[in-house]
A and B are shown apart, each in its own frame.
Chain A
Amino acid sequence: MPVGYDRTLARIELARSRGALHLTSGAAVCIVHYMVNYRGRQLDRTFAALVDGTRRAILARLEREDSATVSELAKPFAIKLPAVMKHLDVLHDAGLISRSKAGRVVTVRIQPEPMREAMDWLRRYERFWSKSFDRLAAFAESKERAATKKRR
């Protein structure tokens, strides 16, 4: 469910895990609201980053290989290094990858958390609608049977 007490609790837990343990209830509410907005924006960035095929290919490779340098990542694509860097910027802003620099070599790693959140969005609605449609089908089919009977 996209709304609900359990999610609020999850947000409070998240706020706590970030070191906000000793709060008055007023402060807790502020943090919860902040987390709601923060998570909303984070999700937007994640989705925006995932709509591009090149960026998804980069992520898929990082998932397989754990880490890769920028020039290794650029190799399979028919685009120039600056274009790859731009894609990496978008992925980085979305929190999907981390970059670390050693000398002139930049190593890129995948950060799975935001992706997990995006998938959660899909999963929540998948569940909502699948279950709803089970009952919709049962209801419409009983109506159909009644209508067919009447006609006979």
Chain B
Amino acid sequence: MTSLTLVRRIRARPSIVFEALTKADGIAQWWGPDAGPVLLAETDVRIGGRFRVRFRLLDGTEHESAGEFLEIVEPKRLVMSWQWTDGGEPDEAGEVSRIEFDLKRIDTGTEITFTHARLKTEASRASHEQGWAGALDKLERRFSAEHFA
């Protein structure tokens, strides 16, 4: 499995961060890789409930990501499946990945540890059967970016 991990410190209490992560009007404030607007945000925050976020990039292209809430431990942990969609239909050969947010209370607010993981794919299942997977360790890039010095 391959995963990307980011660690961030935010000067806000965990309950506020958790709300920003789960409420549609919160998500609309931050979701996306550039300053383009979020066009639609929907969340149904319960296990098995879905989220859907549509956003426009500064280059004018529109993109949509969606998934399901898999774990909800307010205000500590949130796990969602993640997929690129187009009008609600799966995109990019249907690849599903998994995102996890772990929120830890610290003196200055919240430390958030975020992981985006590629799930086991057909290829890694095949390699599991061949007996390689015993030695599976994560190929991982870890980024620790202090938001404030």
Contacts and interface: CB of A to CB of B under 8 A. Distances in A.
Nearest to A87: B132
B8 interface: yes
B4 A90 contact: no
B20 A143 contact: yes
A48 B122 CA distance: 10
A131 B33 CA distance: 5
Contacts of A40: 92-93, 95
Interface string A5-27: 11000000000000000000000
B57 A1 contact: yes
A65 interface: no
Main secondary structure of the interface of A (DSSP, over half): helix
Interface size grouping (class) on chain B? 35 or more
Nearest to A52: B135
Contact of B17 (A37, A90, A130, A140): A140
A144 B123 contact: no
Interface string B17-43: 101110000100111111000000000
A51 interface: yes
Interface of B: 1-2, 4, 6, 8, 10-13, 16-17, 19-21, 26, 29-34, 57, 59, 61, 63, 84, 86, 91-93, 95, 109-110, 112, 114, 116, 118, 121-124, 126-127, 132-133, 135-139, 141, 143, 145, 147
Given A130-B145, A133-B147, 20 more contacts: A3-B63, A4-B63, A5-B61, A36-B93, A44-B123, A45-B123, A47-B1, A50-B2, A51-B1, A90-B132, A126-B4, A129-B4, A132-B32, A133-B6, A133-B114, A134-B147, A136-B20, A139-B20, A143-B16, A143-B19
29 contacts: A3-B91, A4-B61, A4-B63, A6-B61, A37-B93, A44-B124, A48-B123, A51-B132, A51-B137, A118-B139, A121-B118, A126-B141, A129-B6, A129-B116, A130-B143, A131-B33, A132-B32, A132-B33, A133-B6, A136-B8, A136-B10, A136-B29, A137-B12, A139-B20, A139-B30, A140-B20, A143-B16, A147-B13, A147-B16
